[in-house]
Structure 1
Amino acid sequence: MQAPNFETYVFNNGTIDACYLNTSLGVPCSQGSVPIIGVNATTSEDVQAAVKFAVRHNLKLVVKNTGHDYLGRSTYRGSFIVWTHHMKNITYNPSFIPQGAPPNEIYDAITLEAGVQWYEVYDALEAYGRLMVGGSSVGGSVGAAGGWTRVDNVVEMTVILSTGQYLTVNTYQYPDLFWALRGGGGGTYGILTSVTYRTYASLPVAAVFFTVDTENANTTQALFTELLRITPQLSDAGWAGSGGVSNDSMYFFYIAPNVSATVANASVQPYFQYAANMTGVISQQTYVLQYPSWYSWYAQFYTNGTQNGANVLIGSRLLTRDVLETKYQEISDIMFPLGSVWDFVAGGKVSKIDSDSRYAGGKSIARVDTDLWRIFQR
């Protein structure tokens, strides 16, 4: 059994229906929560036919690309699955005009079918010297158009509704649905068959790598607390990335786009020096490197590995700048005992909402103007 959330089914009496990898247990291999039948969709017409079939026969319908859902919502016991993983078309268009838009509204864009994964997008864009805002995981498992959509950069979507109807939605066509689809949800409104994203010119990036091993938890927490304290300054300097902390170790790796090595070093050296002077540090490794493009950094660290998930629980918290500046010790006292892993979004980008994404059919949506950071605790 590799991923219990996807494969197992637990009855009310606690009995588990599953198929275990360890055959020595002597437990019969059962279906668990794995769908019993479905459609390997390769076109939008396949998805339409599958939806109509499910409606006609009153079937529980689930949708899966790579299955990158920690809660296992891309599977269900006794269900009928629409598998979009082999919808792999990628179309780059430097002069994309959304349907119904005025002719002068032009985007340098890329259209991805539902089965395309982020590593495939990045490989395609590199050939054009472009990049886009996306996601990353070791081995590239995350879906780009049917999984983790980057809503502020979406220009247009195609979707199959529960009626089987095929729609192209954007700011000009079905704007309410376009707005709703960018709000997420497990197939709440329909099945996406493609997403069109804005792209951007490729940029060089600076990267910082920090690891430390300590003699005790007090030393580690002091280092973690100081990192929290300077997070607003690191954000102002353009850094973003991930990190993790346990009782006797801590690490983080951040990148900053279009930042010189001199500026990058100046912004992180004070923290490096703070750690070097800390009593109880056993070993410390620090690097600041320059990469000619974001893709070259990504290719070094994310293109190797297996495309298999893990069983984790993610909790998302938004922290205002003033909280980080004044209550960093309290935040540390909460996060440190959890053995947290965090993702750091720089520059308050969580709150800087594109004007187009704030409207649903002409109705303005309230925006948050405070700088925020997103911290994921796993």
Structure 2
Amino acid sequence: MFALILRTGTVLAILGAFPNAAWAQQSEPTVSIVQQWLSSGHADAQSPSFRHWEGEQAIPGTCAMCHSGEGFRDYHGFDGSVAGSIEGLIAPGGVVDCATCHNDGAAAIERVEFPSGMNIDHPGSSATCLSCHQGRQSGGAVAAATGGIEDDTVDPGLGFINPHYAVAAATLFGSQVGGGYQYPGKSYMTRFQHVARFSTCTDCHDPHTLEVQTETCARCHGTESPRAIRTSEPDFDGDGDTATGIHTEIDGLKTMLLDAIEHYSIEVSGEQIAYVERYPYFMLAEGEEGAGSPYTAWTPRLLRASYNFAFVTGDPGAYAHNPHYALQLLYDSIVDLSAASGKQVEIGERPR
């Protein structure tokens, strides 16, 4: 086994043990690659993503797969254990190290299962990325939680269902993996198909810094600003402006949906809701008794729309990963909530 240890100031960054010593000796990472990795979120040992369990004996198995390189290897059986579960105790403090991706076993991953229970077969070089960037919930879980309850009835048994963070893979594959809550009778985009040259995660993201390689966008789109890119002509958010990038359309619908959520909470649920960019995300608004505490006046209709808002918000790159899937989720949520609360909205064309 071979491990590369780099000292930066007073911090020891352990990149991980390579599974193949001969390969490691022939391909020892250069200092520049190490520096690139150290600049990424995958290497940030001080991030809450890796420090959350500080002081505890082990990271819970359901979390360890993505919040520790050691846990990832255990889950996929790279360490010789049974694949699909974590048998060992995964101590806090690890990061997504080199051996998480640079592992002979990574190429052998034949299937990645998503929270919906749907699978992506033969994921290829994107298998490691898809394993973690998929969230922890699905639209199916929302449907199950709200089934059998009247759409506009506040039910104390309901609570916010958090899709989790960085759900890029679930956005990318759209209805193929069912990450968002999809309204019955509506059609939803499957995987967003870019050109063949840009079909894997590392075709667009640097594999070590994780940054988007924006210079590649300019070759076809004439701009190095991905947010300025727009290949769809219709006006989706109804503001009459079709010259902006699709990112702006998504932002416009997100603003409209949050407004619809707040209006519905007042008119139907009876307690005003407020969104905050931290756990628990939806809280009682200022002026309400118990303001600042988790929101509890959930109806099935409000929960479905709020889940979709959080799902799209959970992927800041949705405009590039699968813009039409994001737009469809937002659009349908706005229409559904507004009709129930009597709110008049000026909205554009539904994405196809």
- TM-score interval w.r.t. the shorter chain? under 0.3
Structure number with the higher helix fraction is 2
TM-score, L = length of structure 2:
0.28
Structure number with the higher strand fraction is 1
TM-score, L = length of structure 1:
0.26
Larger Rg: 1 or 2?
1
